[in-house]
Amino acid sequence: MSTVVSTEVSTAVVRTLDDLLKAGVAGAKVLVRVDLNVPLDNGRITDDGRIKAVLPTVNKLREAGAQVVLLSHLGRPKGKPDVAYSLNPVAIRLSELLDAPVAFATDTVGESAKAAVAGLENGGVALLENVRFDSRETSKDEAERQAFATELAAFGESYVDDAFGAVHRKHASVFELARKLPRYAGLLVATELAVLRRLTTDPQRPYAVVLGGSKVSDKLGVIQSLLPKVDKLLVGGGMCFTFLKAQGKEVGGSLLEEDQVEVCKQLLADAGDKLVLPVDVVVAEAIIPDALVKVVAADEIPDNLKGLDIGPASVALFADILKTAKTVFWNGPMGVFEVAPFAGGTRGVGEAVAAVSGLSVVGGGDSAAAVRLLELGEDSFGHISTGGGASLEFLEGKTLPGLEALED
């Protein structure tokens, strides 16, 4: 069982939800930026983890008598209403989880939003429609973002950011809005900050990072930043094939970023024995549930097949390294875990991360989804991040606009 994470953060820099509650919120309208960007399949939520993650902050505010107004994005609509990205299914699921009504506004700052907010009672909750249905939310024009933030600010007396997954975006509801009201970090953001600070400032050693996912280019910044700081960097997922190619191995039809091969060669040279690659892979012709699969050595991938998961010897190798680790950060699946024949690598590595005796952190939406889909037991991990790209940018040392906006 992994170490439980304290949610303490430095209130000298960022005020927290506890500070707001101490000041009293009974009868006050509190705007809460949340991350309800859940995966949908024809309007059906396939993973409600992000909804559950905001419940502690929402419930604390409700219990204190606040009138809670929730703001979120979902997907990437093109600055106008699109039923495929409506938050209505989220409002229904949130109501079920809260066991209380959730007033859903069919717009962001229009008549429906005004009515939903005006109709709130103490302890009530309203959810405004997808903030990205308004093009000003993501506009590159600061004046447009400011105008949208001003309209949103009229709905509340204070602002709580509980959407760590969006703090790396300089969007109206994340950056400009926070500057217009007394601002606080929600429980989720406070926890994320505490955990990521532990990973970046004097982590307990040995410190191992497990990276997966499809593209090296998506993780290049975090790899370059982490290599000097970690004891081991284990690479799986589709991105491993570009590294294998950089070692001179043939990868058949596997995912390959040709333009990153030279970069990977340099990373391998710089890393020495810190960077560990799979020694075997699961290959098949296609990603289908009844695929004929076989396990081959990492340097024996047939030309007509593609690598879709790391193999059992690789799982054993990674698990052996993780046994001695005291701090582990895992971001990205080891294969196409959503399809049964290619889930073994992610399951095996996930179980090894869960068994770490020190701090284990699961970062990224795909990794968190794998924990739930493969029933690895969320309580087995020290922390499951909802941050995704924000977590990676924090580990790279980048300034995150949403966190910067919370600072006094």
Contact between 100 and 159 (Cβ < 8 Å):
no
The catalytic residue among 114, 215, 249, 398 is 215
225 labelled as ligand-binding?
Answer: no
Q: How far is CA 143 from the centre of its chain?
A: 29
∠ CA 341-342-345, nearest 5°, is 125
299 labelled as ligand-binding?
Answer: no
36 labelled as ligand-binding?
Answer: yes
- Grouping H, G, I as helix, E, B as strand and the rest as coil, residue 195 is helix
99 labelled as ligand-binding?
Answer: no
Handedness of CA 345, 350, 351, 357 (dihedral sign): positive
What does the block give as tokens for 272? 């020495």
136 labelled as ligand-binding?
Answer: no
Residue 50 a catalytic site member: yes
74 labelled as ligand-binding?
Answer: yes
Contact between 287 and 307 (Cβ < 8 Å):
no
∠ CA 211-216-219, nearest 5°, is 60
The catalytic residue among 311, 332, 382, 389 is 389
383 labelled as ligand-binding?
Answer: no
CA distance 364 to 346: 14
76 labelled as ligand-binding?
Answer: yes
387 labelled as ligand-binding?
Answer: no
372 labelled as ligand-binding?
Answer: no
Among candidate residues 400, 289, 375, the one with its CA nearest the CA of residue 13: 400
169 labelled as ligand-binding?
Answer: yes
The catalytic residue among 156, 365, 382, 402 is 365
306 labelled as ligand-binding?
Answer: no
Residue 215 a catalytic site member: yes
The catalytic residue among 15, 50, 198, 274 is 50
CA distance 91 to 116: 13
- Grouping H, G, I as helix, E, B as strand and the rest as coil, residue 127 is strand
Which residues does the annotation mark as catalytic?
A: 50, 215, 365, 389
Residues of the binding site for ATP: 219, 307, 338, 364-367
Residues of the binding site for substrate: 35-37, 50, 73-76, 132, 169
Residues of the binding site: 35-37, 50, 73-76, 132, 169, 219, 307, 338, 364-367
